[in-house]
Structure 1
């Protein structure tokens, strides 16, 4: 246990030294934002995305549930990748943001298919997948399905299995009532309605994509950043994920006062520094 802690703190110390030495910035000189493009898929809704061409490894950002590619983290990462000359892609899931489709028709499987399409058709070579909240869950599913396209993973407030886990921890009476009604209304402060509604069909489909019950066949570098003040997705989910992945190169970084969205300036700096460190690691290995 002591040796594990020593390695962990040594890694954090090395990352701090790297940050101080390189003086990475993601603000200051503003770059022109990329243009929204649309990917036409046979018999499927069009996907909206923004793409920056550049060096490998590229970075792909996966938003959270009901979110879109226009958030602070997504925009800051584009600015960073442009400054470094690396490729970057952010996109909206089916039914979200500027993509076609209806949110109510979406499932975890639907959005996993979107991610795989992006990796197969819109980017070249291995990518650093950066997943926020539900995007962290989809990041895991994509890494399992496309190991050759996944150079590394960075989870931000990763919500692996979260919908299913929370539902299964409800009292049996509450679950029976939800199943009878066919929907589950969950309070939230993240939208104007003040709640999110999940159908029982959505939950049953999501259960098919759970990853935390068994070893996760991911061997690339993994970095998991989570706020200890996260009131939506508890930070111990990132710890569980770290234990499940087969990779030996896994770091969990906990921010004592971090919230779920991890969108404060210092949070975004940490995310940028973490990705920059991975890029250095991956290019050195090459």
Structure 2
């Protein structure tokens, strides 16, 4: 099923594409970044590794991404969070290791908060955060906006920026910025109640490693590890990066058993 057509579920009227590999718990849940999809190098490597180990693995495309329906410009953190929670509740049981890449790390941290609110504390057995970009709209983007970009957000409702990873520009909407403020996590202590391991490249042009260090300050003092990859970029998709990701995933799985 993983390589053929995805399973599709409806979340708030939009079809969300999901690839679920049945297996033992704790399973892995992949949460991709802004404009990425579930067929990327890291997601595929994690899924294949889970298959070798007999572990459950679940990944999906947010609305407006990859094989899912919906318009990308309708997307917000709240919307993608709702979809991710729906996928986890529908396809998984028992503790899961949430693997969040870039914006996906923000989604993962918000999922922990929402699952705890709903009394589902035991559903997250660990967090593996890759080049995490929590609160990126308010912390990384808004301070850098030019007067012209602020004007465009007000008048057009969006701005566009060239993408290093795609011929299509990145589009950021006013709704994304406004919703981002409502989903901030870098305000108090984020009680994850599980081990957290952050992998961050020091040569990341998109998310400075100081941002990962700031995230650590908002996590409980125990059970948090930050590994800095001296020459690592934002993607962390080189063979040595993938090897490191899988080693950390294995340690988190072992601890969650």
> What's the TM-score once normalised by structure 2's chain length?
0.91
- Note the alpha carbon deviations across 1:171-198, whole angstroms, 9 max, x for none: 67456434443323233211112x3121
Superposed counterparts of 1:21-32, under 5 Å: none
Are residues 1:108 and 2:83 paired?
Answer: no
Aligned-partner Cα distance in 1 for 2:105–2:59: 14
Structure of greater Rg: 1
Kept in 2, the 8 Å contact 1:132–1:155? The answer is yes
| Local SS of the residue matching 1:259 | coil
Match of 1:190 among 144, 165, 169: 165
Q: Distance in 2 between matches of 1:242 and 1:139?
A: 15
1:69 to 33, 38, 47: 38
When structure 1 is superposed on structure 2, of 67-76 and 147-156 the one drifting more is 147-156
Which of 48, 53, 58 is 1:84 aligned to? 53
Distance 1:78 1:247, change over 3 A: farther
| Equivalent-residue separation in structure 2 for 1:221 and 1:79 (angstroms) | 23
Q: What's the counterpart of residue 253 of structure 1?
A: 227
Q: Over aligned residue pairs, what C-alpha RMSD do you find? A: 1.8
Aligned residues: 251
Determine whether 1:99 maps to 2:99: no
- CA drift of 1:34 comes to 4.3
Q: Distance in 2 between matches of 1:238 and 1:42?
A: 31
> Residues 39-63 of structure 1: CA distance to partner in whole angstroms, max 9, x if unpaired?
3326421111111111110000011
Q: Shift of the alpha carbon at 1:240?
A: 1.4
Runs (5+) with no aligned partner, structure 2: 116-120
Alignment counterpart, residue 143 of structure 2, candidates 169, 181, 189: 169
2:55 & 2:150 partners in 1: Cα distance?
Answer: 50
